[in-house]
Each structure stands twice: as C-alpha cells, then as structure tokens.
Amino acid sequence: MEDNLLEKKFNKFIIAVSIIIPVVVAILFTVKLKDFGYNVQPLSFLPPIYATINGITAVVLVGAVLAIKGGRVFLHRRLMTTAIALSVVFLVMYVAYHMTSESTKFGGEGIIRTVYFFILISHILLSIAVIPLVLVTYVRALANKFDKHKKIARITFPIWLYVAVTGVVVYLMISPYYV
C-alpha cells in the first residue's frame, strides 16, 4: 500500500517535470544573456564536454543493464542514479552553451545533410519523450514495483541509449562547423 502511495505521490511531479523541462529548455534556447546586458563570454568549450557526458551516459546505461542481468542490484542502482545525474549535468551545460553562444549551422550538403537532420530531429524528440520514461522507471524501482519497473525499463533503456549515442553523433557531425 505504501509503495502505491509513493508512486501516486510522484506522478504529478513526473508530469510537471516532463512538461516543464522541455518548455524551459525551449525558452532558454532563445534567450541570449548578452541581450540582457550581461557581458559573458561564449561558453564555446562546452560542446565537446557535454558530448563526452552523453558518451559516458551511454556507457553507464549499458553497464547498468549488464549489472542487473548479473544480479548486481546495488551496482545497477548506483549506475542508474549516475546516468540520471549525468543527464542533468548535460542539460545544464547544453542550456548554458546556448544562452551564451549562437547556434551553429550544419554545413554538410546532400545525403549527409538529410542524415544529420534525421538524427538530430529524432534525438530531440526522443530526448523529450525519455524524460517521463526515465522518471517513471526510476520511481517504480523506488516503490519496489520491480515487475512494472522491468516492463517499462525495456522501453526506456533503448530510447535513452539512443538519445545518449545520437547526442555524440550529432556533436561529431556538427563539430567541423563550430566557429
């Protein structure tokens, strides 16, 4: 019974966070600190760092799956918490970069341009979709609803892994065009 209350308690939080994060990121993406009189240098050093964080997140996610398949529950919990923390750090850096720097235009042409935009758009859409999936998956584990946790984790994991890996791919594809 207590576990049901925990899950219900977090449902409103999950819905709110799943809406607020994409909306705030979209708004902040359009905000440039210099437009408000702040004399800040562009944080142009951040993209390779947050791309690396995406790569590390992918490795941590795979490690977490291997840990749970090997019965190492404590390690799995630690790795999943680490993956969430890495995702939050990525998000902060990503927003900070875009609040201080102009967006970089992809300069590729032909089929590579189509591939880039397919990867970018799917990455963005799935990064929005994965927010509630990660939170629900995490809360179900906290609530000891491991049957439900496992069921949704089978959906969450590949989407989150795709988002992490394509974050690196997008960076590698656009990095030659950074100013």
| pLDDT per residue as tens digits for the range 122-148 | 999 999 999 999 999 999 999 899 999
Q: In this structure, what token pair is assigned to residue 139? A: 């809360």
State the Cα–Cα distance between residues 113 and 120, nearest whole angstrom: 10
Residue 6 has pLDDT above 60, yes or no: yes
CATH code, domain with 64: 1.20.120
State the Cα–Cα distance between residues 81 and 60, nearest whole angstrom: 10
User: Within a 10 A sphere around the Cβ of 96, how many other Cβ atoms?
Assistant: 16
Position 92 scores a pLDDT of: 94
Q: Which of 171, 164, 23, 172 is nearest to 97 (CA)?
A: 171
Q: pLDDT category, 53, cuts 50, 70, 90?
A: very high
Count: domains in the chain: 1
Residue 63 sits in which domain range? 2-177
Q: In this structure, what token pair is assigned to residue 151? A: 């069921």
Position 47 scores a pLDDT of: 94
Beta carbons of 51 and 14 less than 8 angstroms apart:
no
CA quadruple 139, 16, 120, 25: dihedral positive or negative? negative
Tokens 């994060």 — which residue? 21
For the entire predicted model, the pTM comes to 0.90
